[in-house]
Amino acid sequence: MNTRTVKFASHGYSVIPGLICEQELAFARELVTELVDRYRSGDPTALSVGITIGDVSRQHPQRNPDIDPDRWRHEPFIIGDLIALEPRFARLLSQKSIWTCVAELLECASSDLLFHFCNLTRKPSEVDPAIGWHRDADNKYFASHDGRTLRLLIPLQFMSARNGGTAVVPGSHIQTDTPVETALYPDVAPGACLALHSATLHGGSPNRSEQERDVIVIQFGLCSSTLRCQADETLSLATREDLLAFYRGTVEKRIVNS
């Protein structure tokens, strides 16, 4: 067990520098920009798998004080099922560096891993709401009975306390009564990631800075785990080889049709 794995096991989170290269980071930003534009323009497919800043502000006004929900009814907060909306996201999700990192932290072979889901979680400058304290293991979207899942948060801009970054409570995956007052906001550079243990308590404050904060969230699990909750997303429960084959097939199809 290396130092990074030991720290993850004891702290319940880890910042992994340089998870994806500059080329893949630029590619991810390009796809996200196109997707957000589609959502803002009212693309029905994008709207069907998303929630807006206005929606969240209306549902949880205490998390986004002084924000008029109607003004932000077209601004996306979360967009899910990214591969369904843009198959080229499979290129990012099949990056070897990502699967190697997850396998290391879950202490398994890459071949033992399955992709669960991915989404884009946005914190637009000056208007984004807070995210309440929660543990991913408790969710009713995609969770396993043994809690052997892991989420990666890959920011496309620098993520910190200043722009509503994700706060974590160190050790809360072991000591469930660890007070939130011990929370800290890890600094995470673009293309790096914040890896979260499924039982780690985390949340976030509103983004009232002038800085954007777009994050691609990816969850992985183990082939051997049984699922308590399972969403129906494109390529859920896929292996890396499945994602690679899907992406290659998509590229070839576009070349033929071009």
CATH number at residue 116: 2.60.120.620
The model's confidence at residue 80, banded by pLDDT at 50, 70 and 90, is very high
Q: How many CA atoms lie within 13 A of 204 on its CB side?
A: 22
Give the whole-number percent of the chain exceeding pLDDT 70: 98
Give the whole-number percent of the chain exceeding pLDDT 90: 95
How many domains are there within the chain? 1
Q: Quick one: average pLDDT of 119-126?
A: 95
**Is pLDDT of 175 > 70?**
yes
Q: Quick one: average pLDDT of 71-84?
A: 97
Q: Quick one: average pLDDT of 152-172?
A: 97
Encode pLDDT of 84-96 as tens digits. Answer: 999 999 999 999 9
Domain that holds residue 160: 3-257
What pLDDT, on a 0 to 100 scale, did the predictor assign at position 15?
A: 97
**Is pLDDT of 255 > 80?**
no
Q: Quick one: average pLDDT of 137-155?
A: 97
Encode pLDDT of 202-245 as tens digits. Answer: 999 999 999 999 999 999 999 999 999 999 999 999 999 999 99
In contact, 169 and 200? CB cutoff 8 Å? yes
Indicate the burial class of 242 (C-beta count within 10 angstroms; 0-12, 13-18, 19 or more): middle
